[in-house]
Amino acid sequence: MSNQQESNIAISFYNIHNIITRGLRVSLESVQGVLQRGFQGEEGREGFFNFIRALTSVMNAHHLTEDEIVFPYFRDKLPEAPFDSLTYYHHVMVLILDEINLAVNKCSNKDQLETELRNIENDLARLNEDWPFHIQPETDEFINKADALVPVEEQLRLVRLFAEHDLKNAIPLYLTIPFMLYNLPQDDRMVFSQGMPAEVIQNLVPVVWKEKWESMKPFLLA
Ligand SMILES: [Fe+2]
Ligand SMILES: [Fe+2]
């Protein structure tokens, strides 16, 4: 069983892409729900905004990890892969993510709330539409090729390096780590957890940070 649970480059990318895919879908459905029915109490409001903050931070961190260490690592090994166009599209997505964060900040102003929620809805709709077309070439052009190119031990080292780089930029960690863990089904979550320090999984997420992230629970998987 322990072998099956070990991560490799392909598994780590499937997981982070699945986290973002679900995060984008749930965020869009949630903003549409809020526009129709309003917030489900103060806790619902806090959870909604925390979930979106976590999503934008995790996406930004993922793009940075790819641009700064993943693509440079694979560039020589896969000279035909479209790294430049993938990086270009990261920049496009970062602009949209910045717009979302700006709109979220303006939502504290009651008079602007509905307009800003509509802006968030439009931005999320666009990201949801574009995202599959961004991760498909990543999957085809380097993720699915990694196993043939990189020895198992080296893959484990890289997976840890990528995870560390993600965590440097995915702030605040008390939101982004629970967001990543609980946007994955349990089996995948177990594998994903192995890339994190035991203290984070056993103490910080379930105890120390709990009050800060538990408002997101209605949007997360059990
Ligand atoms: Fe990417
Ligand atoms: Fe990616």
Instruction: Compute the distance from residue 44 Cα to the ligand 2 centre, in Å.
Output: 30
pLDDT value of position 195: 82
The answer to whether 17 and 204 are in contact (CB under 8 A) is: no
Instruction: Average the pLDDT over 43-70 and give the result.
Output: 98
Amino acid at 136: Q
Residue 169 to residue 121: CA distance in whole angstroms: 25
Residue 70: CB partners within 8 Å, gap ≥ 6?
142, 162
- Which ligand sits nearest to residue 16's alpha carbon? 2
Q: What angle do CA 214, 26, 140 make, to 5 degrees?
A: 120
Confidence label for 1 from pLDDT (cuts 50, 70 and 90): very low
- Which ligand sits nearest to residue 67's alpha carbon? 1
pLDDT value of position 8: 93
Alpha-helical segments (H) within the chain? 2-5, 9-37, 41-65, 71-75, 83-106, 113-138, 146-149, 152-169, 173-181, 186-193, 198-199, 210-213
Tokens describing residue 161: 């390096």
Q: What angle do CA 158, 160, 161 make, to 5 degrees?
A: 60
SS (H, E, C) 101-122: HHHHHHCCCHHHHHHHHHHHHH
Per-residue pLDDT of 141-167, as tens digits, reads: 999 999 999 999 999 999 999 999 999
pLDDT value of position 4: 47
Which tops the pLDDT comparison, 8 or 3? 8
Instruction: Compute the distance from residue 25 Cα to the ligand 1 centre, in Å.
Output: 17
Instruction: Compute the distance from residue 66 Cα to the ligand 2 centre, in Å.
Output: 7
Across 1-15, 54-68, 85-99, least confident range:
1-15
Q: What is the DSSP letter of 158?
A: H
Per-residue pLDDT of 98-126, as tens digits, reads: 999 999 999 999 999 999 999 999 999 99
